[in-house]
Amino acid sequence: MPIIAWTSQLNVGVKLLNNDHKQLVNLINSLHDGLVTGHAKPELQNTFERLVSYTRIHHANEERLLAEAGFHGLPAHKREHLQMLQQLLELEIRFINSTQLGVEMEIMQQLRVWLFKHIQGTDQQFTSHLKSVNVDAILNGWRAPVERQQLSPVVEAKIEQGVW
């Protein structure tokens, strides 16, 4: 069972950012599922590293979009991204060094809170600004730093099916 379910509460109203957030949800769920089903530690570490890498991609997407939209809160949002990445890297180190399932499950809960806090907190703060500047016009013809092939096959299929 996934640790995070995508709900409308996580929707920020921007397809590109929602797709990024869905990929982060998918990676956290994959890490959790692998942990629960007893996958080998190197495989779990690989998934965690993919989560860190994709977080960097997402932050680049978000920061570029906010810059092009003229969002006045961008400097503070960038600082938050740096703090989030630092938190994620600290969780990754704890995860790698852990030999106890209880500690690893606690880290999974912290990852869940980490993602929810960002999406439901500060990301919701710029939603109205993006809508006011017609974010779709900004994104038309805009090639985001993330390439479609970097999406997981599960997320890609759901996007294509219109499920997400």
Q: Is the residue at 90 inside a domain?
A: yes
pTM here?
Answer: 0.84
Domains identified in the chain, total number = 1
Encode pLDDT of 34-59 as tens digits: 999 999 999 999 999 999 999 999 99
pLDDT of residue 122: 84
pLDDT of residue 140: 83
pLDDT of residue 163: 44
CATH number of domain containing 140: 1.20.120.50
Domain that holds residue 91: 12-161
pLDDT at 144 over 90: no
Q: Is the residue at 4 inside a domain?
A: no
Cβ-based neighbour number of residue 74 at 10 Å:
16
DSSP letters for 16-61: HHHHHHHHHHHHHHHHHHHHHTT--HHHHHHHHHHHHHHHHHHHHH
Average pLDDT over residues 16-38: 94
Encode pLDDT of 54-67 as tens digits: 999 999 989 999 99
Q: Is the residue at 3 inside a domain?
A: no
Q: Is the residue at 5 inside a domain?
A: no
Q: Is the residue at 35 inside a domain?
A: yes
pLDDT of residue 154: 53
